[in-house]
Amino acid sequence: MASLRIQGFRLLGLLLLSLFAACQGNACQKDDENEVLYLLGLLQPLGDYWARLYYVDPLVIGDEENINFIREAQPSDVFSGQKKLILVSGWDTSDRSDVDYPTPNDLERRALVTKWNHLLKTTDYDNLLLDGYQVFIFDYLTSDSIALNGSRFRYWLDRTFGSVTSPEVIIYAHSMGGIVTRTALYLGSTPLYLRAALINGSPLHGSPWASPQYQESKSFLGTLASFLTQTDGGSDLRWDNFDSNISGASNPFLSELAAKTGRDNLIHLTYGDVDDGSSFDDSGTASAVMQTACAVLHPDGFRGDCIVPITSSQYSGVTNPNPTTDLGRYEHFQINWASSATRSALRTKINTL
């Protein structure tokens, strides 16, 4: 056994030496090195490395961009009897699964600043802390498949809250994050620690913008959407065609997930609805891109938040015992804590769960 172990270390050393020798004087790509290290079992798959649950220190309210106030969550961060709120963001169009491994500091900065600073810097966030919540953030590589990210989320949930036997955890998830959350909920047994999941503006039946059959008819916007959805995660957002509204469209992953309803009593749905396709409750912060998207989707019968039709965010055709909540005439990104009205409505909703 000892001789085999020595031979193994020698082989590993030779492989590493050959890699670094080949790089001398050449512009070796870091991702090539990462691939070799991954094959040698020295690196996690990028998506596993990326996916993490973070604990946010309450002191962050004094310095919302200071990554010293965010850290990888541990079971010791969980205070028994105190409410927990987990924030899960949606799809990031810039994510790709073939990039270099970011540093832990890079990932912490992304979670705290890029994804959630728009909420953390508001008095509504301060009020959530005053309401008694411990706050956590789950971040993940959105270009990976939703099935993988759902499994990763469930791993972190169980790892962190597995010893909690009373329902103290509330998940808030926006957009793709809602599908990741629902996927996690239906893995394993029903988690005792989960009180509720508030899923906001989630394309539970998918989005026409992610479907090739819809993209090809929409000129420049369709071409742009096609480029942005050329990842496993983006592809998972295709319209599942539950209503037969897009000829040839399908999404077996979402159709299979829709067939699972036994734990939907834990799920509460909110959404935005620009019901006439052009009038916004906060027109000053509605982006020009979203206004254009609404102007295209609405005439095609896909009324909603300009990205997700309400039939998708309401999960039409899927039984849910809880009433859905219309947040108002807001586009897809406005409903994600981005206006004072939606922040107030979401906080109120969370406190009633």
The helix/strand/coil state of 123 is helix
The yes-or-no verdict on residue 15 having pLDDT over 90 is: no
Mean pLDDT calculated for residue range 95-111: 95
**pLDDT score of 227:** 60
Backbone angles phi, psi at 188, to 5 degrees: 65, -155
Mean pLDDT calculated for residue range 118-135: 97
DSSP 79: P
CB count, 10 Å around CB of 219?
10
What are the pLDDT digits (tens) for 52-90? 999 999 999 999 999 999 999 999 999 999 999 999 999
**pLDDT score of 27:** 42
Please give the domain boundaries of the chain with CATH numbers for all domains: 52-352 (3.40.50.1820)
DSSP 89: -
Nearest of 220, 214, 230, 179 to residue 300 by alpha carbon: 214
CA geometry: angle 274, 226, 292, nearest 5 deg:
30
What are the pLDDT digits (tens) for 184-233? 999 999 999 999 999 999 999 999 999 999 888 777 566 667 766 789 99
What is the band of 34 on the pLDDT scale with cuts at 50, 70, 90? Answer: low
Q: Report strand pairing: 70-72 vs 194-200.
A: unpaired
Report the alpha-carbon distance of residue 196 to residue 202 in Å, rounded: 16
What is this structure's pTM?
Answer: 0.89
The yes-or-no verdict on residue 137 having pLDDT over 80 is: yes
